[in-house]
Structure 1
């Protein structure tokens, strides 16, 4: 592992992160990265585990709380999930069955058991322009993130292969997941998009219900739809007072600032024309040969 820094011509614009085997990782990944990744790769999964796999700021908390309501049969807000990338993996063994946890790691780094079909995987993706905007506001509102700079610098960082959240940039992350899904047909995986979840929330909840085989009533699924409305989740999150001390490293109150707007197409309010052209050109170059269909509204 090495410590790395991404900079540009303006001294105040900089980002520090960890790099291991050529891959970028956030500074809060435990220890030397290598040992943590090995433990996660070797994690013994259970057949009733659900692993939520997302690139950051793609609707992780929204989906997690939906999954938990379906699995528990209650409408209780479950807060922030266990994020395997940043936490002591020993805690996974103490979690009650059935376990649901989250990872932002790119496909080659997920548990071997997941690739062989032991747990179920829910893969949630979002159009990258909204991911970029949401991530900038997210990281700008926290402490000790390693990032200092304005939106233009953040976009430059996001478009590079040094972007540090998942062991890969958004572009590499999406390509590695697309390749992995083809290479491992035995995986039990459900793929959804943030935009489809917004457009047809009840339909996606029903799809999740079928995939998880929890067989909730239509009335309960309708109640879930009401409870996971963005403003309801945002309000529930604001009331939490007992967040784990593990998040005080990025927020002094231990409450991760998750919910902002939850819109599709919010990037249009942030991108300049030149930035949009730059993004589109980079996307065409990096995603050549991959045909991902996103709703940019």
Structure 2
């Protein structure tokens, strides 16, 4: 069933049915309610692990709300060596959401993205040392962004369990690692850092959301070098300008990137992918007690891991 082809009334009924369903669970963590994972999660995840990666493939790995759409657009422009917006939605090349057979037939270089934990990304890609871009963002802004996303995205909300509930309910859940999408932020990032430290992964380019926001030209230049692309300073600046939060969100909402399908499935009928894109908005959400609770959770979870985040610019 193509939910986008339904009448508005039929679509609302279908969306409400999705919201009321429980999330698929794999290896102890929750996944969004994508058709691929709802139908047979074990089979789909096995197909992801056994994906026939090619040397020219590039894999973008991020925790949810860490800047995936932003970096996806930047890298797409670098690869095409031009500052033209891509059409469509990055979910079409998202490993846990898309049809793996369809992705297999994509022309090279295949640029694929996922929020899946390190241990579940394609085995051949890791073992062969193919290119990976790993993007991180400070966890407090991630929490705020994820909460606002979940309230409106039918694939992550669950009315039966009253999730995500209030902000207070949500942040308590996250600190206790309940409703642990992709294993939860701490487990996700810890696994990546340990893989880098032990050399389990060797060809990874690390990007911090806040660095990209503070100095986009320098970070785009680094990305281009990693992708073996020689771009002119003028083109790099143009990519930075077109991929600013304001420009990219406006291009998406206005249709310059193709039809904006997100409002058609959003609970509030707005695009839940782009909200503010700022660093430090968490201070408008966390109470003093919540901030202390969250800091304690981070301290426990990242013990022995040298990982520092930027919480304001």
> How high is the TM-score relative to the length of structure 2?
0.83
Question: Aligned to 2:77, which of 50, 60, 69?
Answer: 69
Question: Aligned to 2:27, which of 3, 21, 28?
Answer: 21
Question: Aligned to 2:143, which of 127, 132, 143?
Answer: 132
Is the Cα–Cα contact under 8 Å of residues 152 and 268 in structure 2 kept in the other structure?
no
Equivalent residue number for residue 155 of structure 1: 171
Question: Aligned to 1:100, which of 111, 130, 143?
Answer: 111
Equivalent residue number for residue 293 of structure 1: 308
Is the Cα–Cα contact under 8 Å of residues 117 and 188 in structure 2 kept in the other structure?
yes
Is the Cα–Cα contact under 8 Å of residues 47 and 119 in structure 1 kept in the other structure?
yes
Q: How far, CA to CA, are the matches of 1:142 and 1:185 in structure 2?
A: 34
| Structure 1 unpaired stretches of 5+ | 1-13
Task: Report how far residue 249 of structure 1 moved.
Answer: 9.1
May I ask how many residue pairs the two structures share in their alignment? 282
Equivalent residue number for residue 51 of structure 2: 43
1:113 maps to 2:124:
yes
Equivalent residue number for residue 11 of structure 1: none
Equivalent residue number for residue 52 of structure 1: 60
| Partner SS, residue 192 of structure 1 | strand
1:216 maps to 2:231:
yes
Structure 1 residues 193-251: Cα deviation after superposition (integer angstroms, max 9, x where no partner): 00111111100000001000011111111111111111000101102385597x79954
What is the alpha-carbon root mean square deviation over aligned residues?
2.4
Give the strand-richer structure, 1 or 2. 1
**Distance change (3 Å), C-alpha of 1:62 and 1:111:** same
| Structure 2 unpaired stretches of 5+ | 1-19
Task: Report how far residue 22 of structure 1 moved.
Answer: 2.3
Give the helix-richer structure, 1 or 2. 2
Structure 1 residues 237-287: Cα deviation after superposition (integer angstroms, max 9, x where no partner): 102385597x79954899852111110111001111111111111111122
Task: Report how far residue 86 of structure 1 moved.
Answer: 1.5
Is the Cα–Cα contact under 8 Å of residues 63 and 188 in structure 2 kept in the other structure?
yes
| Partner SS, residue 95 of structure 1 | coil
Is the Cα–Cα contact under 8 Å of residues 136 and 209 in structure 2 kept in the other structure?
yes
Q: How far, CA to CA, are the matches of 1:252 and 1:261 in structure 2?
A: 18
Equivalent residue number for residue 9 of structure 1: none
Is the Cα–Cα contact under 8 Å of residues 210 and 310 in structure 2 kept in the other structure?
yes
1:228 maps to 2:234:
no
Q: How far, CA to CA, are the matches of 2:75 and 2:181 in structure 1?
A: 23
